[in-house]
Amino acid sequence: MKPHPIISAVDLQKKFKVTTRGHSSRLLTALDRVSLHLSTGETLGIAGESGCGKSTLAKIMAGLLMPDAGKVHYNGTPLSQLSQHEKTFFRRKTQMIFQDPFSSLNPRMRIADSISEPLKIAGMPALLQQAELERIMSAVGLSKDAANRFPDEFSGGQRQRIGIARALAASPEILIADEPVSSLDISIQAQIINILLQMKIDYSLTMMIVSHNLLILRHICDRIIIMYLGSIVECGPPAELFKVCRHPYTEALIASIPGLHTSTAVKIVLLQDDLPSALSIPSGCRFHPRCRHAIDICRHEIPDMVEYADGHAAACHLSNSLYG
């Protein structure tokens, strides 16, 4: 029996009004009919090019942004139907880590106060707060003398440790990380990823990791969702996606990873043209202007998401003929 989803989304839609030079305001499609679920204890990766809607999806799942349509469910109940008390509980149990943790830290607060804030809000007695603060700081690799310093005194990697520590202080069930290592040096990336993996075990976390780095997601995720221009085009376990992907966009993303030698990647698969503007989503399969396999039906009919194996699904009219 599959574990029940702790958090799920049904038919999320999100558009943003933007004003470009010489035009009146127009609507940019960030998400279009996005549905997904995370089972308890699962790590789900969200991948795709910049502008595909990954970060918007992360914020909506964390309850930081409202969708225009569709619903996010927490333990089976739509967020909109949670009582005020339950909403507060959801916000505490669902923590988010950002690409730039500096933006989420108060520059005038000492690190000890920033990390302790969720402990105070949760009503932890003052006597226990100091011990818990020291335990969390040690767990993420921050020394005791960091406690009295301010955010601008730290490097990017240390700030990310602080961001993780602050999230952990809320005793979360769900951790949503938006490009948590993309601005860090490679050696620091590995350290932060290892901290996240250890925290997942120590806190029994369910995690959603947004990244454009498929290799990182392959390393840490149970499943990966591939997004393109606001829609999900494929999802599946990493081993299966890297062995037998079922969508030309996934194939191109994997083939673009330097030095990766898999049966898929050895083929030269180039994306044609740049990512189209989300202000003007192509008809039919939105990937068709860049797809070297596109035929007439691709330009007119939106492909359904079809499940090909347990947990592995893709939205492509030609998936069977291309990938068997």
Residues that bind ligand SF4 (CB under 6 A): 247-248, 285, 287-288, 291, 293-294, 298, 303, 316-318
CB of 247 to ligand SF4, least distance (A): 6
Of the pair 161, 247, the CB lying nearest ligand SF4 is at 247
Of the pair 199, 226, the CB lying nearest ligand SF4 is at 226
CB of 155 to ligand SF4, least distance (A): 42
Query: Dihedral through CA 236, CA 237, CA 239, CA 244, nearest 10?
Result: -20
- Burial of residue 125, with CB atoms counted within 10 A of its CB: 0-12 exposed, 13-18 middle, 19 or more buried: exposed
| Residue whose token pair is 């030609």 | 318
Contacts of 43 (CB under 8 A, 6+ apart): 200, 206, 207, 208, 209, 220, 221, 222, 223
Of the pair 144, 292, the CB lying nearest ligand SF4 is at 292
CA separation for the pair 37, 148 (Å, rounded): 40
Ramachandran angles phi, psi of 219, nearest 5° = -70, -35
Q: How many CB atoms lie within 10 A of CB 132?
A: 17
CA angle 75, 77, 79 (to 5 degrees): 105
CB of 124 to ligand SF4, least distance (A): 51
Of the pair 51, 282, the CB lying nearest ligand SF4 is at 282
Please give the C-alpha separations between residue 301 and each of 15, 54, 218, 283, 311, in angstroms, as whole numbers: 22, 24, 31, 8, 24
CA separation for the pair 198, 79 (Å, rounded): 29
Of the pair 255, 285, the CB lying nearest ligand SF4 is at 285
CA angle 227, 201, 82 (to 5 degrees): 60
CA separation for the pair 276, 286 (Å, rounded): 9
- Rg (Cα) of the chain, in Å, rounded? 21
Classified as helix, coil or strand, 220 is: helix
Of the pair 179, 234, the CB lying nearest ligand SF4 is at 234
CB of 186 to ligand SF4, least distance (A): 32
CB of 50 to ligand SF4, least distance (A): 20
CB of 88 to ligand SF4, least distance (A): 43
Of the pair 53, 248, the CB lying nearest ligand SF4 is at 248
CB of 213 to ligand SF4, least distance (A): 22
Of the pair 20, 320, the CB lying nearest ligand SF4 is at 320
CB of 123 to ligand SF4, least distance (A): 52
